Amino acid sequence: MLQTHPIKPVFNKSSKVLILGSFPSVISRKEQFYYANPQNRFWKVLANIFSSQIPKNKDEKIEFLLNYKIALYDAAISCKIEGSSDAKMSDIKPANLSEIFNTSNIVQVFANGNKAYEICQKYLKDDIVKATKKSIIKLPSTSPANAKFNLDMLIREWDIIARV
């Protein structure tokens, strides 16, 4: 069944980093916010790299992102997907990033995992490079499905965001 992205991007004019996931999980679609699955390590990783408290609710998460000049969205605006599995995504329609690029001062785009990176490379690469003059950087997925990376390994890889 075709799913449409139900969550607005988070950004403001101060945002300088854009993190793109692939598509919201079942839990995130239900909760209407990014990385709502408590098993996903996204919020723990970001809190660690910025030496901050883990934001607990939607308002705290938005405040956290904007405080650290992070824009957050997904690479796909719609797709067919079974459950939350990136491997089961098909009929992908890419997100339109122009509002984020036109409003913010994005200097680097990061892809959260292989599928997000693949969608960016296939559909969004030209827009991203035009807006930032830089290639997309692929980071290891914070998903619990990415068992190859423990939390410490993710923090080491994701620390690049804190240095932008």
Alpha-helical regions (H) of 91-147:
98-103, 114-119, 125-132
In this structure, is residue 94 part of a structural domain?
A: yes
Residue 163 lies in a domain: no
Average per-residue pLDDT for the chain: 96
Residue 103 lies in a domain: yes
Residue 87: the pLDDT is 84
Q: Model confidence over 121-150: pLDDT tens digits?
A: 999 999 999 999 999 999 999 999 899 999
Domain that holds residue 83: 2-158
pTM passes above 0.95:
yes
**How do residues 78-96 score in pLDDT, each as one tens digit?**
999 988 888 889 999 999 9
Whether residue 91 is contained in a domain is answered as: yes
pLDDT of residue 38: 94
Total tally of structural domains belonging to the chain:
1
Alpha carbon distance 161, 19 (integer Å)? 9
